[in-house]
Amino acid sequence: MKQSSYPAFHRFFESRSNKLLVVGILACAFGLPWQIVAEAQTSVTTYHGDSQRTGWNSSEGILKPSNVTATTFGLIASVALDDQVDAQSLVVANQVIEGQGMHTVVYVATENNTVYAIDSSTGSILKTANLGAPVPRPLGCTLNGPNVGITGTPTIDVEKQTIYVMAYTLVAGQPSYRLHALNLQTLQDKAGSPINVMASHRLTDGSKLSFNSKVERQRPALLESNGNIYAGFSSFCDFSPSSSRGWLLGWNAGTLTALGANELTDTLKTAPANNGTNFFLSAIWMSGYGIADDGVGNVFFVTGNSDPNLNTYTGTTNIQESVVKMPEALTSVLDLFTPSNVFSLDQGDEDFGAGGVLVLPDQPGPVPHLAVAAGKDGRLFIIDRDDMGRFHNPDIPAHVNIGGCWCGSSYYQGADGVGRVV
């Protein structure tokens, strides 16, 4: 799992000739792309701008190579922060901040568990909130900075005036995840916030496995959809594979009450490895890309590798290396796609789940509901969301080779009306 690190500051830009505000945010760790927010009235309240994760601002019609130049576009402020930033920063236009008036506000979260509200045109810090002590290098993993605090990109509900944040904190010396619902105007916890993340799931033998914060990394961006908040979990450096597994958890956005069901990607009681050691994982990490939805009540994510010693894929009790579709209540796996070389991906640590799944807007033609996903082996699969293909040899979905992907795709429609995946 390769990643890069960036200094703990963000850069703010404006277009001087058109008085057009543009917020340019440094790429997050884990290989995420630059996020550009155009036009002063445009808010970016979730990872890649929408819950389908397109990364496309369809209302932006001003920026082009001819006017993004050294004379019209440049640095206006640098803001020193208290730790590394691995989450995408979010923007809310015309946002009231208590005691500070109205601003276009950039919300930034750091691995020190600090949330900042920053004025986008001046770089002035308007509010801060620290959500508790971060966890120093969990399990000794070095694929992160010295601390792990807020890693997954938060999500904002402007109507509720709430930013939802998952913080990894030390509580009585023990690592714990806490889901916060913060007031956008004050950055203070709302009533009922935070809640401690707890979950359990039945294994194949009927026994119950409890969520273990010590071995789970909350890496994908949070999703608000269907009145719920969703978070995916993976591992730290693939450490503790005998304990760590992929989880998708959800909570009611209004009450932070946990949903009655959740997804555990590997429900085997023991892994039948030929070396006598349990090896689970099937993590949901996606290089920080967000859990996605299709706008009609379904959520999507991609899983990573499982046991490299023996093929444990079943499509039910273990769903590694797969794009997965679930209903909003997380009660069942509705459909999935698993590449036919699933075991060789496991053997080579070639996670399909190194990349996220992009849900495309409806397309013309006989297959209108598409999604795309790519991973470390460089194949970008084009998937029919209504019939994803499950496991089939040869692979049913079409694919193109794009090179190794610790990433997630974006989508836009050009002036010619043709949709493009980039």
Residue 91: the pLDDT is 97
Q: Are residues 205 and 311 in the same domain?
A: yes
Q: Where does a domain end: 120, 154, 187?
A: 187
CATH number at residue 356: 2.40.128.630
Q: What is the number of structural domains in the chain?
A: 2
Looking at residue 36, its pLDDT comes to 37
Q: Give the model's pLDDT for residue 20.
A: 24
pTM over 0.85: yes
User: Is 149 in the same domain as 220?
Assistant: no
> Cα–Cα distance between 177 and 64 in angstroms, integer?
42
Residue closest to 167 by CA, chosen among 113, 243, 105: 113
For the chain, how many helices (H) and strands (E)?
1, 31
Please check whether residue 384 is in contact with residue 376, taking contact to mean a CB–CB distance below 8 angstroms. no
Does any domain span residue 192? no
Q: Can you tell me whether residue 298 is helix, strand or coil?
A: strand
Tell me the per-residue pLDDT of 321-345, one tens digit each, with 9 for 90 and over: 999 999 999 999 999 999 999 998 9
Is there a single domain that holds both residue 92 and residue 241? no
Looking at residue 33, what is its pLDDT? 34
Please tell me the predicted confidence (pLDDT) of residue 396. 77
Residue 303 CA to residue 333 CA, distance in Å, equals 13
Averaged in consecutive runs of 10 residues, what is the pLDDT profile of the chain (422 residues)?
A: 33 28 30 36 94 94 85 88 97 97 97 98 97 95 93 98 98 96 99 98 95 96 98 92 91 98 92 70 94 97 89 90 97 96 89 95 95 95 95 83 93 91 94
Please indicate, yes or no, whether residues 156 and 256 belong to a single structural domain of this protein: no
Of 157, 187, 217, which one is at a domain's C-terminal end?
187
> What is the C-alpha to C-alpha distance for residues 11 and 25, in angstroms, rounded to an integer?
6
Claim to verify: residue 305 and residue 205 sit in the same structural domain: yes
pLDDT tens-place string over residues 308-326? 888 888 889 999 999 999 9
Distance CA 264, CA 330 (A): 10
Domain that residue 397 falls in: 197-422
Would you say 267 and 253 are in contact if contact means Cβ atoms under 8 Å apart?
A: no
Q: State the pLDDT at residue 11.
A: 31
pLDDT score of 240: 86
Final residue of a structural domain among 187, 207, 231 = 187
- Whether 335 is in a domain gets the answer yes
Residues with Cβ < 8 Å from 178, sequence gap 6 or more? 131, 132, 166, 167, 169, 194, 195, 196, 197
Residues 182/187/191/192 CA torsion (nearest 10 deg): 50
Count of CB atoms within 10 A of residue 42's CB? 18
